[in-house]
Amino acid sequence: MPEDEHGGAKDGRSSYLEPGTGYGASIFFSFPKPYNAAQIAFIRHLSENLKSRGFFPRTLGVTDYDMDAPLRAVRRLMFESHGLLAVAFRRIYVESGTGNFRADLDHINQYPLSDVWLSTPWIHIEPAMAYQLGLPTLIMRESGVLADGLLEKGVTGLYAPEFDLTGDPLNYLKSSEWNQILTRWEHQVRTVLERKGNPPRLYD
C-alpha cells in the first residue's frame, strides 16, 4: 500500500478532513489523497453530508491508524463498519496509450486509450473486500476515470454514479440523482446495523 494512501503521518488527508467526534453508524470511507482544491472541497462536503445523516465516516490514516500490515488493517476496520463508500478520484492521466499492446492472438485485438484517467488501485481492492464481507458498497467515479474493474456500472449491485468537478464541485452532491442513490445505500447500511445487533436464532 502506498505511503500516501494509508501511511498515517505522511498522509496529508488528515490536514483537511476532520476526524469528527466519532459517533454514528460506522462506515468505511475510501478515497485517494486529493491533489486539487475541487477534490478537497468535494470530500469535505461529502463527509459532512454523511455525518448529517448519522454516519461516522472512517478512513485509515485520517480517523483511524494501524501499525499492522495494510490489508489486515483494512480488514479490521471493515469488520467495524456497516457499509463502504468509495470515491474514485482522478490520479494518473493517460494522454495516449494502448490496451492489449502487441496482442498476437486471433481473438484479441489491441485498442487505443487516449485522454483518460486512472484512479488508485485501492479503489478496486477495498470495495472488493467490503463486498466479500456482505457490506453495502457504493462507488463514486470522477468523470474521465476509466470505468474498468469495480468501476464498471452495476458490478457491486448499486448504480455507480459519475460526478464532474470541472464546475462547482458540490453540484452533484445537491442533485436528485445523488440523493436517491444515497438514500438507497443508507437503507442498506441501516439494515446491516440492525441485523448485526440481532442474536443468532435457532428457530423461526
- The pLDDT value given to residue 137: 94
- Map grid coordinates 458540490 to a residue: 170
**How far is C-alpha 96 from the chain's CA centre?**
27
CB of 147 within 8 A of CB of 153? yes
Q: Look at residue 152 and tell me whether its pLDDT is greater than 90.
A: no
Nearest-10 Cα torsion for 76, 80, 82, 88: -40
Phi, psi of 156 (to 5 degrees): -95, 5
Counting residues of the chain whose pLDDT is more than 70, the rounded percentage is 89
Neighbours of 88 (CB within 10 A): 28
Mean local confidence (pLDDT), 136-161: 86
Mean local confidence (pLDDT), 65-85: 90
pLDDT level of residue 163 (50, 70, 90 thresholds): very high
Mean local confidence (pLDDT), 29-54: 93
Query: Which residues lie across from 176 on neighbouring strands?
Result: none
- The pLDDT value given to residue 49: 92
What is the DSSP secondary structure assignment for residue 204, as one 8-state letter? -
Q: Who wins on pLDDT, 101 or 50?
A: 50
pLDDT in tens, 187-200: 999 999 999 888 88
- Residue 135's nearest CA partner among 25, 44, 24, 46 is 25
Mean local confidence (pLDDT), 37-49: 93
CA–CA separation, 24 vs 12, rounded Å? 24
